[in-house]
A = this chain, B = another copy of it.
């Protein structure tokens, strides 16, 4: 029987399969965690993929019933219904992937030319003699070839290591030179074969995403996500500002736990990368964060971010010595942070705009970065408008009765099939809770099944699984004690639904007001880009169903994963990208919604659970 090769993108995994097997089988053979709640029965619509190249079976009746003609024309298929009939290139949208594999779409390579701020130069020096008494530093500078602007600078710790190292290494060394707007600086002198490593990090309110990068090639050597340990001092930005302003010691504690976590992350990434990588080889750092996290990380005051008019202490691009922040990397390394746009639209949003290229579009593009704060930018034909809305940590599993983050045992996909709850957990483990994409699916599916009213009320008589829970009122039993991974039931409560309603109304209202400010309607949106470690993996159909996103044709939505982290890596490997990010920040006009009378109005309009077209 004929064999064909299926190339799954953007994960970059190939598999050879026999003709006629389904794409779902092929994905499973390739070790790809494609969602399939119904087990391949064609009823859950969670295994959506795009066939980009090659021959497959034509859409069958199931697909024609479930998918729009436009989507089918664009190559969207149910993997469980589509057979392989030739060599294929298949694109797996992030939303169809199981959570642990999603970071794999954040590929090793970036689509920018490698042009890092720090470059490696190998030198071999003549030893000092009675006749040649140049200082060790002068000798090193003289030996450095072209492309390095003079005079060179170096910090004391770099200079302090120089003399013993040159002698220990037989007067050979690698010299890591940082090119800045204000001249060149040697940030490390190492062994001749040390690689120039870089660390990029997205410091989210809830989650940290870190990347170890080879600055010579631009290749990502290792990546890691972990919780922001500051969460112990406040779940959202305002809570942390409140904690920080109680005392300087509080602010310092929050800085320290964050830096400790980053240092641990860097050490683990180096160990994972192997090939002798060490934290001291990290010669450049790019960090992005929202404004409050930015200030807490750097050690700037946040009091003025906590009350109107919510201004940043500092909003320019920042270059600060990593050692000054307590990072255990090369002693002369700097941390670069892109500009903040406003008190609640920070460097992480600039980074997202950089990675998604939204500002270059000439059409109407909306970009959303979903986190505990959701930042929204509208590009209206070249005019950039931004705002921020407090969406809360519901999508990160917080403030949800059985919420949890996206790790093993979290229900990440949920469908009501034949009026019965069906779900898929991360790692296919017994369920222990619900993560962000799961709770969104639940609200959408329970609404569709009539368990929830349009206002979010749960009808006690609508389904046998609705029970009255002490302290919660009516709740829907998702998984009972016997089938869960711990000795408790898993529920969706009325409170959970409310959290989702608040979050989604805030987002929708933000998008709406920016459009109004530009004299546009939702129908004008040509492209709707969803970023953020959590928000970008949710089911767009579920989001549209509950009115979180406008009811646009599916192909106008694009989920891009952790674009802020991607942008951080772009800044790490390219000086031009830093300049481009800074130019973007200058172009953006920020709209403060706090006291905007339109906001309350649009917010309350958006609170209902329905796919309301707003025109």
Residues of chain A at the chain B interface (Cβ within 8 Å): 128-130, 133-138, 151, 153, 155-157, 159-160, 162-164, 167, 181-183, 298-301, 303-304, 308-316, 320, 324-325, 340, 342-343, 590, 592, 595
Contact A133:B343 (CB < 8 A) given known A151-B316, A156-B320, A183-B182:
yes
Task: Give the docked Cα–Cα distance between A388 and B138 (Å).
Answer: 21
The answer to whether A128 touches B311, judged by C-beta atoms less than 8 angstroms apart, is yes
Residues of B within 8 A of A163 (CB): 300-301, 303-304, 313
The answer to whether A160 touches B299, judged by C-beta atoms less than 8 angstroms apart, is yes
The answer to whether B137 touches A167, judged by C-beta atoms less than 8 angstroms apart, is no
Residues of B within 8 A of A181 (CB): 151
**Which residue on B lies nearest to A132, using beta carbons?**
B309
Give A347 Cβ to nearest chain B Cβ, in Å: 12
Q: Which of B136, B309, B320 contacts A133 (CB 8 A)?
A: B309
Contact A160:B128 (CB < 8 A) given known A136-B312, A315-B138, A590-B133:
no
Contacts A136-B314, A164-B301 known; list 18 others, CB within 8 Å. A128-B309, A129-B309, A130-B595, A133-B310, A133-B592, A135-B311, A135-B315, A137-B316, A138-B316, A153-B182, A156-B298, A156-B320, A159-B300, A160-B300, A162-B313, A163-B313, A182-B182, A182-B183
Contact A156:B308 (CB < 8 A) given known A313-B136, A343-B133:
no
Task: Give the docked Cα–Cα distance between A457 and B592 (Å).
Answer: 91
Give A125 Cβ to nearest chain B Cβ, in Å: 12
Residues of B within 8 A of A135 (CB): 311-316, 340
Residues of B within 8 A of A315 (CB): 134-135, 137-138
Give A323 Cβ to nearest chain B Cβ, in Å: 9
Give A247 Cβ to nearest chain B Cβ, in Å: 13
Residues of B within 8 A of A159 (CB): 298, 300, 313-314
Task: Give the docked Cα–Cα distance between A138 and B340 (Å).
Answer: 12
Task: Give the docked Cα–Cα distance between A298 and B163 (Å).
Answer: 14
Residues of B within 8 A of A182 (CB): 153, 182-183
Residues of B within 8 A of A298 (CB): 156, 159
Residues of B within 8 A of A134 (CB): 311, 315
**Which residue on B lies nearest to A314, using beta carbons?**
B137
Residues of B within 8 A of A314 (CB): 135-137, 159, 162
Contact A342:B133 (CB < 8 A) given known A159-B313, A300-B159:
yes
**Which residue on B lies nearest to A153, using beta carbons?**
B182
Q: Which of B151, B304, B342, B595 contacts A136 (CB 8 A)?
A: B304
Give A334 Cβ to nearest chain B Cβ, in Å: 12
The answer to whether A167 touches B304, judged by C-beta atoms less than 8 angstroms apart, is yes
Task: Give the docked Cα–Cα distance between A154 and B351 (Å).
Answer: 23
**Which residue on B lies nearest to A590, using beta carbons?**
B133
Task: Give the docked Cα–Cα distance between A311 and B164 (Å).
Answer: 12
Task: Give the docked Cα–Cα distance between A536 and B110 (Å).
Answer: 67
> What are 6 A-B pairs with beta-carbon distances under 8 A?
A133-B310, A136-B311, A136-B313, A156-B298, A160-B300, A160-B313
Residues of B within 8 A of A299 (CB): 156-157, 160
Residues of B within 8 A of A133 (CB): 309-311, 342-343, 590, 592
**Which residue on B lies nearest to A154, using beta carbons?**
B314
Give A566 Cβ to nearest chain B Cβ, in Å: 26
Which of A159, A308, A311, A342 has the most CB atoms of chain B within a 10 A radius of its CB? A311
Residues of B within 8 A of A162 (CB): 313-314
Task: Give the docked Cα–Cα distance between A313 and B343 (Å).
Answer: 45
Residues of B within 8 A of A160 (CB): 299-301, 313
Task: Give the docked Cα–Cα distance between A450 and B340 (Å).
Answer: 83
Task: Give the docked Cα–Cα distance between A343 and B304 (Å).
Answer: 51
Contact A137:B313 (CB < 8 A) given known A299-B160, A304-B167:
yes
In the A-B complex, the 7 residue pairs with the closest CB atoms: A135-B315, A182-B182, A135-B312, A163-B313, A137-B314, A128-B311, A163-B301
Give A578 Cβ to nearest chain B Cβ, in Å: 14
Task: Give the docked Cα–Cα distance between A153 and B137 (Å).
Answer: 26
Give A341 Cβ to nearest chain B Cβ, in Å: 10
Give A462 Cβ to nearest chain B Cβ, in Å: 46
The answer to whether A156 touches B300, judged by C-beta atoms less than 8 angstroms apart, is yes
Residues of B within 8 A of A595 (CB): 130
Residues of B within 8 A of A138 (CB): 315-316
**Which residue on B lies nearest to A162, using beta carbons?**
B313
Task: Give the docked Cα–Cα distance between A447 and B164 (Å).
Answer: 49
Task: Give the docked Cα–Cα distance between A210 and B304 (Å).
Answer: 40
Residues of B within 8 A of A300 (CB): 156, 159-160, 163
Task: Give the docked Cα–Cα distance between A298 and B285 (Å).
Answer: 26
Residues of B within 8 A of A157 (CB): 299
Give A245 Cβ to nearest chain B Cβ, in Å: 10
Task: Give the docked Cα–Cα distance between A167 and B135 (Å).
Answer: 48
Task: Give the docked Cα–Cα distance between A153 and B321 (Å).
Answer: 13
Contact A156:B316 (CB < 8 A) given known A133-B592, A163-B303:
no
Task: Give the docked Cα–Cα distance between A157 and B311 (Å).
Answer: 18
Which of A130, A155, A157 has the most CB atoms of chain B within a 10 A radius of its CB? A130
Residues of B within 8 A of A310 (CB): 133
Task: Give the docked Cα–Cα distance between A181 and B343 (Å).
Answer: 33
Give A318 Cβ to nearest chain B Cβ, in Å: 9
Give A539 Cβ to nearest chain B Cβ, in Å: 36
Residues of B within 8 A of A153 (CB): 182
The answer to whether B164 touches A303, judged by C-beta atoms less than 8 angstroms apart, is yes
Residues of B within 8 A of A313 (CB): 135-137, 159-160, 162-163
Task: Give the docked Cα–Cα distance between A39 and B61 (Å).
Answer: 125
Give A152 Cβ to nearest chain B Cβ, in Å: 9
Give A127 Cβ to nearest chain B Cβ, in Å: 9
Residues of B within 8 A of A342 (CB): 133
